[in-house]
Chains A and B, each alone.
Chain A
Amino acid sequence: METLRQLLVGREISELSRVTHLLDEPEQLASAVGGVLPSAAARAPHAQLGEALAPAVERAVQRSIQKSPRTLTDILYPVFLPAIRKSIGEKIDQTFQSLNETLRHIFTWHGLKWRFEAWRTGASFSEVVLKHSLVYRVEHVFLINRNSGLLIAHVTADNATSEDPQLISSMLSAIQDFVKDSFNEKEQSGLDTIRFGELRLWSEVGPFATLVAVIRGNPPEELHEIVRDVLFRIHDEYSQALEQFDGDSSQLAGIETQLHSCVELKQEDSNQGFPWLVVAAVLLVLIPAGGWFFLSWQSGQRWQAYVSRLSTQPGIIVAEQKLRDGQFYIAGLRDPLAADPQALLSGTQVDPARVHSQWQFYQSLEPQFVLKRLTASLTPPKSVRLSIVEDRIVAEGEAPDTWIDRARAAARQLEAGGPVFDISKVRDVSPEARAAEHWQTYVSRLEAQPGIIVAQQRASGGHFYISGLRDPQAADPQALLSGTGVDPARVHSQWQFYQSLEPEFVLKRLTASLAPPKSVRLSIVEDRIVAEGEAPDTWIDRARAAARQLSAGGPVFDISGVRDVSPEARAAERWQAYVSRLSTQPGIIVAEQKLRDGQFYIAGLRDPLAADPQALLTGTQIDPARVHSQWQFYQSLDPQFVLKRLMASLTPPKSVRLSIVEDRIVAEGEAPDTWIDRARAAARQLEAGGPVFDISKIRDVSPEARAAEHWQTYVSRLEAQPGIIVAQQRASGGHFYISGLRDPQAADPQALLSGTGVDPARVHSQWQFYQSLDPKFVLKRLVASLAPPKSVRLTIIQDRIVAMGEAPAAWINRARVASQQLSADGLSLDISELRELTPQELTHLRDAIQAVGIFFDSGKAVPGPEQLPVLDKLANQLKELAKDAREAGVTAQFMLTGHSDATGRETANVSISAARAETVRALLKKRGVDPELLLVRGAGTFEPAETEISRTGSSANRRVSVTVSFH
């Protein structure tokens, strides 16, 4: 049975015993319950668990506090510290606010009223102040979910507006987060207050919701408590709904009524009545006090009136003034021209005996004083008026320049700190004044003049009128004007002529009418006019007639002292005429001249270019035989002489014109620099005393001129060249064009350019080749084509070419052929003087060689391949002949002459013929022929193998031939 039981429920028994054991053993039970307690507590219904635990927790806390209050304090510290801190902060704010308001109202009418109210109601004064002074209005209240920032409810006051409250509430919580994050603020409370001008946002933070009140105005701190109360009430009532708020506020509809209680909060300004009572009380106190002060004040007031009157006086500066023990003291500066301070006292009711003044004199710069001083110092003429215009002293009117100068000096002095002294409006009347003065001087000068009687004179309107009598011999009134400073144009004279019979006028008239020669002297001796000296008879006659006229009333004219010297006088007169004529001659300087014993002597300087003094004698009625001249040559620096000399020495080109312009010699036109250089040198020489020689107007035409010169040099050089015929040449636009004929043997015109200074690039030549028949050229051609051996000499004898000496027979034959050809052109080559000379063994090979021709294709300078065997053979022959000749004691030379056909331009033909010869030379050299022995020339078309008939050119003529010569 036991076994069966063991089998059936054995496991349960052991399990049961384990559980029993577990329950019996407190330690085991505790650990078992401890394992499930947290989850059991979590699953228990909140209300029941709270009720069950409350007494135990309360006891435990109580016990803990009894045992060690510190532990719980430490635990709770982070919780209540912020709350305490906030509470204290608010309390302090509250105190400050009430203190502020108390201070502000303490001495006002409100203050009095409110003190009375405080005393009557038993409240503190600050409370009453706050009650009356804080004007505010809660405009919005937001209830915001703390977690999500979503708006739970929003209430707004009448007439208050705002943007979408949902967005605002979110943004407010975002800003709270922002502040918290930004400044690492761990506190749970959040933003308390945001102020923006008149607006304040107050937020109160609850466990699940934040209440934000938007207040306009100045709310009392107590409002915090009111708002907080509302928040607590809401939390009380809707704790569950707030905690579970998920954006759906339909559950929380009642909240708005709670919030309305906040929005209704406000304090409005009330109108206060006018404080009549206080005003009356103040008046009661003030009136007797005022009466008491009035008398002493009045006395001071009078003094002050005087002082201020003084202060406003121009030219008086009150520096110090005081009233002490009923005595008045004043000190300061005063201008001597200012009003007398003492005099000003009269009529002020200030007792002069009680006034003690101390005045220092100074110069006031006030315009009116300056004006006074100026009037005193400048003593302006009556025509000038000084006045003050806007602090400036203005002088107006007319004054002479001397006064204006003084005024100007005064104005300058004033510039340093004084008022402006404007004298711009003073017209300078000096000219008229001076003119009048000058006029008077002139008039009195006239009056002092003998022979002038001033009848009337006056000045009017700047013009002068004078009339009277004058002797024609008297000084000219007009001339007397000069130097008086009177403008002749303003003088209107009216003179009646009369004849003064005063001796001196008579003398004058006589001098004028008789024009006595120098040898006669007229003088006044005791009212008589006496003539003395020598005169020709004609003059004596006229003098006598005058004396007769005068005898009727005038002074005596005594001519008895005049000797008749007519013949000599006349000769001398002529001589004088001649001398003066000479003197006026340019380039002639009369240094000395005299007349002695009927002979005339003259000496002086003359320019070789001046007129000939001798020639000038003709027509003078002076006997040349009696004239003894002594002229030294000199160079006159008179411009016209210098011009002449310059013309002679500089030989200006036609393009230059020299002329005299105001004593300067001016060269104009174009000239080459060489001339300009010479002219400049001449100008430099002239600088020392001579007239100016101005060559600045000469244009330098040297470059062109030189180029043209060089060209002419070149052309004349070409023309001098044998074998060159210049047909036409001209220079145009800096380029040179030349055309003509030239012999191929003649000098190359291009080569002749070198050294001429002509730019080859500017030369455009057109040369036609021709064969000159000038014996020299013929000779050259013969020398070239016949290649005469050294033993033969070709010379020109009277237009004939004569060959002399010894030559191989073959050469003589060729010379003969040439001679025949030449005779056709009218030239002659005389070979009669030649003697045959050639070793026979050489002639054979030579003839073979000379028969060889290397042929070319048209336009080619290189022979075709078919010519190579010919070249090979020729090379061998040449080498053999050279060797044989050497053995025979002579040197064989081979002239390779290139030829061309007659097609194409001659220049091209000449050059291709030369090129062919050169090619053959090179090919022969390559084949072992000593190049020293190979000579090359190009004959062009001039030595054809056959006469050309076809237009395509003869192939026989496109060849290189070989001529052998022995030396």
Chain B
Amino acid sequence: MQKKICMLGGFAVGKTSLVRRFVQSIFSETYLTTVGVKIDKKSVVLPDKTVDLILWDLAGEDDIGSFRVSYVRGASGLVLVVDGTRAATLAVALTLRERAEAEFGAMPFVLLFNKSDLADRWAISDSEINELRQLGWKIYLTSALSGECVDDAFRQLASMVAK
């Protein structure tokens, strides 16, 4: 089974780095700057089946206006990526999600607070994260550097989209 997943997040939050080490890819990162999207695949083995997550890594833009929402069409889930050292990127990720859902309806997502290895520059309070968790959101503090929680997040999303 395959599912289209879109990775959404502001500029330089580390989406590309997140997928770089954990996925199978045949396209170079220049696609991001030329076509605006790069496609990678992450196979997640669930107890009953294997889900191929086809990850659409959209070029990160802080300018929400230039976000090509059409790329989200047909997606089964979202990976929202936030730079934990820049509080503003949380708002960007949430806005991108709102825009995607406004266009294509609600879909499951996981929220990744990336760069958890930079603890000394961490800009998002635990209470804020807990509030979001209260909403039932699946939130992971990830690090592209250490790989912490990245697999967990993809596994969670896979089980959510495969139902």
Contacts and interface: CB of A to CB of B under 8 A. Distances in A.
B119 interface: no
Interface stretch (A146-154, A300-308, A533-541, A849-857): A146-154
Interface in A155-190: 163-164, 166-168, 170-171, 174-175, 177-178, 180-181
Contact of A177 (B2, B52, B71, B76): B71
B122 interface: no
B40 A167 contact: yes
A175 B2 CA distance: 19
Nearest to A178: B35
Given A148-B76, A167-B41, A174-B39, A180 B1 contact: no
Contacts, number: 68
B76 A247 contact: yes
B74 A148 contact: yes
A167 B27 contact: yes
Contacts of B33: none
A247 B74 CA distance: 10
A643 B107 CA distance: 122
Contacts of B71: 174, 177
B39 A171 contact: yes
Contact of A247 (B4, B25, B41): B4
B39 A148 contact: no
Given A150-B4, A166-B54, A180 B73 contact: no
A148 B73 contact: yes
A957 interface: no
B58 to A, nearest CB: 10
B21 interface: no
Contact of A147 (B1, B24, B26, B74): B74
A170 B68 contact: no
A150 B74 contact: yes
Contact of B2 (A147, A168, A171, A247): A247
A248 interface: yes
B113 interface: no
B41 A164 contact: yes
Interface in B9-32: 24-27, 31
A151 B3 CA distance: 10
B140 interface: no
Contacts of B108: none
Contacts of B35: 174-175, 178
Contacts of B92: none
A127 interface: no
Contacts of B75: 148
Nearest to B70: A177
A171 B27 contact: yes
Nearest to B73: A147
A166 B41 contact: yes
Given A149-B74, A168-B26, A175-B35, 13 more contacts: A145-B74, A148-B4, A166-B2, A166-B54, A167-B27, A167-B41, A167-B54, A170-B39, A171-B39, A177-B70, A177-B71, A178-B68, A181-B70
29 contacts: A146-B74, A148-B75, A149-B4, A149-B74, A150-B2, A150-B3, A163-B26, A164-B26, A166-B52, A166-B54, A167-B25, A167-B39, A167-B41, A167-B54, A170-B56, A171-B31, A171-B39, A174-B39, A174-B56, A177-B71, A177-B73, A178-B36, A178-B68, A180-B70, A181-B68, A181-B70, A247-B3, A247-B76, A248-B1
Interface of B: 1-4, 24-27, 31, 35-37, 39-41, 52, 54, 56, 68, 70-71, 73-76
Interface of A: 145-151, 163-164, 166-168, 170-171, 174-175, 177-178, 180-181, 246-249
Question: Considering the complex of A and B, which 9 residue pairs feature the smallest CB-CB distances, nearest first?
Answer: A148-B74, A147-B74, A148-B4, A163-B26, A170-B39, A247-B2, A248-B1, A247-B3, A174-B37
